[in-house]
Amino acid sequence: MEDYWIRGVTILDVMQREEKSCDLLIRNGMIDKIVQEPLPGCEAAEINGRGLCLTHGWLDAHAHLYQGENTIGVDGNLMLKDGVTMAVDAGTAGPWNFEDFRSNTMQKAEICERAYLNLAPMG
């Protein structure tokens, strides 16, 4: 996997309540360094990040993720492209089908999925 710099991206730091322009070094698909000044001797392909924002992963606190029979669920993994890294199912499954939801959807998801249990037998 190629290493690369994303130059001039705006980081939204919610903990410090600030925005700052930085360069990110990506190595093996992970953020390796965040710097405000270019590092000498660190060769990598460059991507112009001006106009782009980097934030923490987002939480969707009310989703319908179970795609079982007679449900209206969506694939939670599709949310990754929009920055959602965790989603909470708002009761799509009930006591009769929750185990299917847990084992076939939640445990196989790329995002972190949690769920409320609906009291209705089928959710």
Query: Model confidence over 38-71: pLDDT tens digits?
Result: 777 777 889 999 999 888 889 999 999 998 877 7
Rounded to an integer, what distance in angstroms lies between the CA atom of residue 101 and that of residue 95? 10
**Separation of alpha carbons 43 and 59, rounded Å:** 35
Tens digit of each residue's pLDDT (9 = 90 or more) over 12-22: 887 888 899 99
pLDDT exceeds 80 at position 81? yes
User: Is 36's pLDDT higher than 90?
Assistant: no
Cβ pair 109, 63 in contact under 8 A: no
pLDDT of 97: 92
Residue 29 has pLDDT above 90, yes or no: no
